[in-house]
Amino acid sequence: MTITNIIEIKKLKKTYLLGKIKVHALKGINLRIKKGEFVALMGPSGSGKSTLLNMIGMLDYPTSGQILIDGIDISKMDENTRADFRLKKIGYVFQFFSLFHELTALENVILPMMIKGERNYRHKAMELLNSVGLAERANHKPAELSGGQQQRVSIARALANDPSMLLADEPTANLDSKSSEQIVDLLKNLNKERGLTIIMVTHELNLGEKADRIIWLKDGKIEKPLSYP
Amino acid sequence: MNSEFFLAIKYLLNKKHETIIVIFAITIGVIGPLFTAALNNGMQDAFVGNTVNVITGHLQILPEIGEKFIPKSDSLVSKLKDIKGIKGVAQRIQGGVEIESKTKRLNLGVVGINPEEEKKASTLSKSVVEGEFLEKDDEDEILIGTSLAEELKLEVGDEVWLTFIKGHPQKFRVKGIISTGTWNYDRYTVFLTYKTAKQMLDVSDASYIIIRLYDSNKVDEFRTIIEKETLNTNIKTWKELAAGTAGMVKTFGIISFLTSMISIIVAATSISLIIYTTVKNKTRDIGVLKAIGARNSMIFYIFLIESLLIGVIGITLGTIIGFCIINWIQAKPIIMHPEAGMQLIIRPWISIQTVIITDFMILATCIIGGIYPAISASRISIIKAIWSG
């Protein structure tokens, strides 16, 4: 693996048990993603996009194979090390925004920093909200924000601990087309300005095309691996 | 602020009504055992305390086995009075008598007392509620209890006829009415002076001697001293003499405490339920928390802190309210009338040690109540949680 690859995946398999039936969600994925690359994972429903993203994001364990992040094999890490790794290295943006409804936008952004044990988080959180254009909505709760605004808060939260990669699982699935464009443009800007590696799962080709590379998945396999730009 | 504490407070504030109800349940759960313990202390004082104060004394010297009297009790009393730590010593004579008023005739116990000695050895002289206490040279005067006065329709100054085992009926005047808070003395006993009792009952010496100490906790130590000094071996402590009453009150206390335990169990169940409901409602939040880097232990602590916060607030409120109630009843004590004319004053009190033990037990119950849902929360799978609800 060269130093420029942030992610290297080797023969990754994931099999689920649905009752007594084995479902092969991933069937031996091999993949490399460069540092600072913006990658879109696309494919039909059930193709394994989200499963792959969850494996990279360390939300789930592979059945077999290896995932190396910054050269570190994450497949065999224990529970606490994985949690610490997620906290410091990975930012996650969910399809359903998944903000904490009891907390304001500002508190939602502050939370990962609190978990990490940082002390002067308020100023940084305000800067992040400012960078996603929501400084004036800092003290509003999620219920008082639009879907697009909630997703932007979610992105600000994902950036709170300066992760080396940002994983977005269908971040525009619940947004109108205008908001979807704005969110993907925001991700694109973060990728360019911060050199942040972004992996985004999406169904929409027009949004996927804004990425540096599209990886197509079908039936748990990479179908059309496009060459590096 | 610590992130676990921060989220625990936010979750609690988000469900104010449920939280307030559970805190209320814990508060009641604390007041219950505290008040029961205080009431039990008050009853111990009322039943056992009164018995010790007027009937048994702290120590009692009884005749040797097979004897009816204590020989040379006067010199024994003098010896006892010289022992440091002894507040008072009093000889008593006891027997039976028939009393006849204008309305009734009853068979009762009779106790001959030395009024001057009793002032130091018991609280009998302080229990006079009407008339006066006996004096050393009173010959045809008696003291009776409030309940007996009620039963025989007697007042101070009234005359009664007493018939002793050996002798004819003799007229006596009621000099005073006492209220000791004991069935035995308030309802079933007539008091005469020691000298008169000796004559009427035709006995040679004291039936028993009561001893009052400055420190009631040193009874065992003083029994040994008295045994050595006087060579008397039949010496009983108030713990032995009042064991029946103490045991009865203690049994009542245990039953009451066990009953109040139900409120503790209800409190713990309420906590467990509210935390479990939170965990169920916050499953997706838990998944997201884990996804953004929270360890399982952090999830566990969030929900444990929630139950601890509820517990601490409920316990604090319960302790404060419990203290207020106990103090209020102390100022306005419970007055019971187990028999007509008899008065039993119960003043509840509680020691700091009991408060600490009770509060600690309830806090432990709150923690136990919170542990299961907290463990369940920490074990939730991230993927399942994120896609739940």
Q: How confident is the model at residue A1 (pLDDT cuts 50, 70, 90)?
A: very low
Can you tell me the distance from the alpha carbon of B33 to that of B261, in angstroms, rounded to the nearest whole number? 7
Q: Chain B residue closest to A98 (CA)?
A: B288
Which has more confidence, B44 or B77? B77
pLDDT of amino acid B1? 63
Q: Chain B residue closest to A104 (CA)?
A: B10
pLDDT of amino acid A224? 60
Residue range B126-147, pLDDT digits in tens: 999 999 999 988 989 999 999 9
The distance of B288 to chain A (nearest Cα, Å) reads 7
The distance of A209 to chain B (nearest Cα, Å) reads 27
Can you tell me the distance from the alpha carbon of B7 to that of B280, in angstroms, rounded to the nearest whole number? 16
Determine the average pLDDT of the residues in B310-334: 94
Task: Please classify residue A88 by burial: count the beta carbons closer than 10 Å to its beta carbon, then call 0-12 exposed, 13-18 middle and 19+ buried.
Answer: middle
Can you tell me the distance from the alpha carbon of B331 to that of B348, in angstroms, rounded to the nearest whole number? 10
Token pair 């790794």 in the structure block, residue: A85
Residue B105 has pLDDT above 70, yes or no: yes
Q: Chain A residue closest to B380 (CA)?
A: A59
Q: Mark yes or no for CB contact A59/B386 under 8 Å.
A: yes
Residue B373 has pLDDT above 90, yes or no: no
What predicted TM-score, i.e. pTM, was given to this entire model? Answer: 0.76
Of B100-104, B311-315, B335-339, least confident by mean pLDDT is: B335-339
Residue length, chain B?
389
- Both tokens assigned to B169: 């009926």
pLDDT of amino acid B389? 56
Residue B265 has pLDDT above 90, yes or no: no
The distance of A229 to chain B (nearest Cα, Å) reads 31
Determine the average pLDDT of the residues in B163-174: 89
Q: Mark yes or no for CB contact B10/A102 under 8 Å.
A: yes
DSSP state of A136: G
Bridge partner residues of B174 (DSSP): B142
From chain A, pick out residues whose CB is under 8 angstroms from the CB of B14. 101-102
The distance of A173 to chain B (nearest Cα, Å) reads 14
Q: How confident is the model at residue B383 (pLDDT cuts 50, 70, 90)?
A: confident
The distance of B313 to chain A (nearest Cα, Å) reads 21
pLDDT of amino acid A228? 45
Can you tell me the distance from the alpha carbon of A72 to that of A84, in angstroms, rounded to the nearest whole number? 14
ipTM of the complex: 0.90
Q: Chain A residue closest to B299 (CA)?
A: A115
Percent of chain B's residues with pLDDT above 90: 52
Helix residue ranges, H only, A75-146: 79-89, 105-116, 121-131
pLDDT of amino acid A225? 52
φ, ψ for residue B377, nearest 5 deg: -65, -45
pLDDT of amino acid A229? 44
CA B94 to chain centre: 28
pLDDT of amino acid B193? 96
Q: Mark yes or no for CB contact B288/A98 under 8 Å.
A: yes
Three-state secondary structure call for residue B179: coil
The distance of B27 to chain A (nearest Cα, Å) reads 26
Can you tell me the distance from the alpha carbon of A68 to that of A74, in angstroms, rounded to the nearest whole number? 6
Q: Mark yes or no for CB contact B295/A92 under 8 Å.
A: no
Can you tell me the distance from the alpha carbon of B149 to that of A146, in angstroms, rounded to the nearest whole number? 86
Q: Nearest by CB to A86, which of B1, B6, B293?
A: B293
Can you tell me the distance from the alpha carbon of B205 to that of B198, in angstroms, rounded to the nearest whole number? 7
From chain A, pick out residues whose CB is under 8 angstroms from the CB of B284. 96, 98
Q: Mark yes or no for CB contact B294/A115 under 8 Å.
A: yes
Can you tell me the distance from the alpha carbon of A210 to that of A202, in angstroms, rounded to the nearest whole number? 11
Residue range A117-143, pLDDT digits in tens: 988 899 999 999 999 999 999 999 999
Q: Mark yes or no for CB contact A79/B11 under 8 Å.
A: no
How many contacts does A have with B, using Cβ atoms within 8 A? 71
Can you tell me the distance from the alpha carbon of B276 to that of B383, in angstroms, rounded to the nearest whole number? 20
Three-state secondary structure call for residue B38: helix
Residue range A8-24, pLDDT digits in tens: 999 999 998 888 888 89
Query: CB of A7 within 8 A of CB of A56?
Result: yes
Determine the average pLDDT of the residues in B312-325: 95
| Mean pLDDT score across all residues of chain A | 90
The distance of A88 to chain B (nearest Cα, Å) reads 8
Residue A176 has pLDDT above 60, yes or no: yes
Q: Mark yes or no for CB contact B291/A86 under 8 Å.
A: yes
Q: How confident is the model at residue A227 (pLDDT cuts 50, 70, 90)?
A: very low
Residues of A with a Cβ under 8 Å from any B Cβ are 54, 57, 59-60, 79-80, 83-84, 86-88, 90, 92, 94, 96, 98, 100-103, 107, 111-112, 114-116, 157-158, 161
Residue range B210-224, pLDDT digits in tens: 999 999 888 899 999
Can you tell me the distance from the alpha carbon of B225 to that of B79, in angstroms, rounded to the nearest whole number? 12
> What is the helix (H) or strand (E) element at residue B162, kind and residue range?
strand B159-164
Q: How confident is the model at residue B368 (pLDDT cuts 50, 70, 90)?
A: confident
Q: Nearest by CB to A79, which of B6, B13, B296?
A: B296
Q: How confident is the model at residue B271 (pLDDT cuts 50, 70, 90)?
A: confident
pLDDT of amino acid A221? 92
